[in-house]
């Protein structure tokens, strides 16, 4: 694996493809932290296995598990899913895995020898020792490097702290993110908004960044990741987490985001179309769920009564499939199914029952997955 610390992706013709572009596989981790996943991750592991199995019907899946959990993961997952041993602090591969980029240039063009590479960002557990989700992330910071090494792909090492869930792209030059996360002082306090935007442009191959003010209400773990709030479903079209309840704190956030998006254009000058995707009825962590989590000095407390950051926007786009969370709110679950089916008419929408378990840990389906794009012209 080549490490290209002195070169930037755009200098070699790389760009981050849209999630709906072809994948060669999907990467996932295997949860086990007792201070984040209740009852020693028993319930979380079952849902992770459901997600991996659903995705594997559309594309290959690799699940990484620690040495202590490899046998357990192997026994719960279908045989056609690859399970490899990898140490990690937690299983949020959207944020700790590499942000893959592709080079569309012909091999003899003088650009990149490889057609697929990965951005290896700095990681500080969503806020560092004082504000992050755990105090030791020494294993997580190596996850991206290990994946790229395993696949023998080049790595662009970057000193900027960034998680994959904080960005979405349309594959045609536009990135969307939130000020609440990327401008948070617990990430890159010495960088200005303009400097961060420039880094996104040269690392993702985008020409325009659309900044939403905030992420989803209650998404304190990530400080408002975009992948719980808004995402592209095609160039010039986004789905936005929404509520009609003006008494819900989420309402103001959604309205502000709608205002920004309605007045925005993408990198090609196209007006942004917004499709509202209602959040489920308000969900809270129960006492039983909170009691199943081990409290220690390393992890972030999970307290009964905490509002869960539940959103249908946190779905994964596979090759021909949409893997989305279901929260047990029949009206909103059904509505989300129909909305996603309409915006992805050529994909099969699969709703994962029990996705609340992932939400209890601080994220959802998009947060636990990381797509590896197919090599251009090699689908």
Q: Is 181 a catalytic residue?
A: no
Query: Mean per-residue pLDDT for 231-260?
Result: 98
Assess whether pLDDT exceeds 50 at residue 379.
no
Residue ranges and CATH numbers for the domains of the chain are 9-373 (3.75.10.10)
- Please give the pLDDT value at position 5: 59
CA atoms within 13 A on the CB side of 78: 12
- 214 neighbors 258 (Cβ within 8 angstroms): no
pTM above 0.85, yes or no: yes
Maximum Cα–Cα distance across the chain: 61
- Least confident interval from 60-69, 110-119, 183-192, 230-239: 110-119
Residue 12 — φ and ψ, nearest 5°? Answer: -110, 10
Helices (H) and strands (E) in the chain, counts: 11, 17
Spot the catalytic one: 133, 203, 367, 378: 367
d(CA 205, CA 170): 11
Q: Which of 82-91, 137-146, 223-232, 291-300 has the lowest mean pLDDT?
A: 291-300
Where are the alpha helices (H) located in the chain, listed in sequence order? 42-56, 70-76, 93-96, 128-131, 143-150, 179-182, 193-204, 249-262, 287-291, 330-343, 356-361
pLDDT by residue (tens digit) across 330-369? 999 999 999 999 999 999 999 999 999 999 999 999 999 9
pLDDT 10s digits, 128-181: 999 999 999 999 999 999 999 999 999 999 999 999 999 999 999 999 999 999
């Amino acid at each position: 694996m080549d490490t290209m610390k002195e070169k930037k992706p755009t200098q070699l013709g790389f760009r981050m493809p849209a999630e709906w572009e072809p994948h060669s596989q999907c990467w996932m981790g295997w949860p086990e932290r007792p201070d984040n996943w209740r009852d020693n991750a028993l319930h979380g592991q079952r849902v992770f296995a459901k997600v991996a199995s659903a995705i594997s019907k559309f594309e290959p899946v690799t699940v990484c598990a620690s040495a202590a959990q490899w046998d357990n993961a192997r026994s719960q997952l279908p045989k056609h899913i690859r399970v490899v041993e990898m140490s990690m602090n937690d299983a949020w591969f959207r944020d700790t895995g590499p942000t893959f980029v592709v080079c569309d240039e012909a091999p003899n063009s003088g650009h990149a020898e490889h057609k697929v590479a990965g951005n290896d960002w700095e990681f500080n557990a969503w806020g560092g020792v004082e504000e992050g989700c755990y105090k030791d992330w020494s294993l997580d910071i190596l996850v991206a490097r290990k994946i790229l090494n395993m696949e023998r792909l080049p790595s662009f090492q970057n000193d900027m702290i960034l998680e994959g869930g904080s960005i979405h792209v349309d594959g045609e030059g536009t990135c969307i993110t939130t000020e609440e996360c990327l401008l948070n002082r617990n990430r890159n306090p010495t960088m200005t908004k303009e400097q961060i935007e420039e880094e996104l442009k040269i690392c993702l191959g985008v020409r325009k960044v659309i900044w939403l003010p905030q992420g989803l209400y209650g998404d304190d773990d990530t400080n408002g990741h975009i992948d719980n709030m808004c995402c592209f479903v095609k160039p010039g079209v986004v789905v936005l987490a929404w509520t009609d309840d003006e008494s819900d704190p989420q309402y103001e956030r959604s309205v502000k985001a709608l205002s920004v998006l309605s007045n925005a254009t993408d990198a090609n000058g196209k007006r942004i179309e917004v499709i509202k995707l209602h959040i489920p009825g308000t969900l809270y962590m129960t006492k039983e769920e909170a009691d199943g989590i081990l409290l220690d000095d390393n992890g972030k407390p999970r307290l009964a009564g905490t509002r869960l950051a539940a959103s249908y926007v946190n779905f994964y786009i596979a090759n021909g499939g949409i893997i989305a969370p279901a929260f047990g709110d029949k009206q909103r679950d059904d509505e989300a199914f129909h909305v996603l089916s309409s915006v992805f008419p050529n994909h099969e929408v699969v709703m994962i029952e029990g996705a609340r378990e992932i939400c209890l840990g601080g994220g959802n389906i998009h947060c636990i997955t990381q797509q590896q794009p197919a090599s251009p012209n090699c689908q």
